[in-house]
Amino acid sequence: MPAAVETAVRERGRAITAQAFGLLSTNLVQALAAGGITNALPYCSEKAYPLTALVAATNDVTIRRVTHRPRNPTNAATGIEWDLLRKYQLALGRGETLAPTVRAGTNGQVTFYSPIVITNPLCLQCHGVPGTDLAPSTTALLRQLYPQDEATGFRLGDLRGLWRVDFARLP
């Protein structure tokens, strides 16, 4: 892939993931302010996908969050995503700065992957260690909303997953 194309994909991918993260975060903070964790968790359960889909449609891309420890099984990493998650975890363990990855696919498709690292203590209210960061009521609600939840036990600085942005056409 030409360097100029890769640079354009990185810049556009960063902008799109920042837009998606900003929209999700803003709405989550509003849901927390309106009713605490017991309001925010159901809100996320119902609204995260439509909000992400809105960002994707606005930017003419496909966007997902994928992880090695999904809350929702549809976000489970597969194939190359697993490889990238392992690569990022090793890099984090060595204290390296994590950079997005760009991969060329078939039919001219290009995919941008960006690591999601837990840097905000607010995230631990839903993704932290049960009994330490998570209140028992939060743990119970998580079990109710997400019976197969694997997305707890994280600490600040842990890799939570990846943003994946698929470009059908080059930016």
Given a contact cutoff of 8 angstroms between Cβ atoms, the answer to whether 92 and 159 are in contact is: yes
Q: What DSSP letter does each residue of 73-93 carry, written as one string?
A: GGGB--HHHHHHHHHHHHHHH
As a whole number of angstroms, the distance between CA 168 and CA 92 comes to 30
pLDDT in the model for residue 117: 95
Three-state secondary structure call for residue 65:
strand
pLDDT in the model for residue 92: 95
Q: Which of 166, 164, 162 is nearest to 98 (CA)?
A: 162
Q: Could you report the per-residue pLDDT of 80-139, keeping only the tens digit for each? A: 999 999 999 999 999 999 999 999 887 778 999 999 999 988 889 889 999 999 989 999
Kindly state the tokens that stand for 76.
Answer: 């489970």
Q: Which of 40, 66, 54, 48 is nearest to 122 (CA)?
A: 40
pTM of the model: 0.91
User: Where do the structural domains in the chain lie, given as residue ranges?
Assistant: 3-167
Residue 171 predicted with pLDDT over 70: no
Three-state secondary structure call for residue 123:
helix
Given a contact cutoff of 8 angstroms between Cβ atoms, the answer to whether 38 and 137 are in contact is: yes
Kindly state the tokens that stand for 68.
Answer: 């090695």
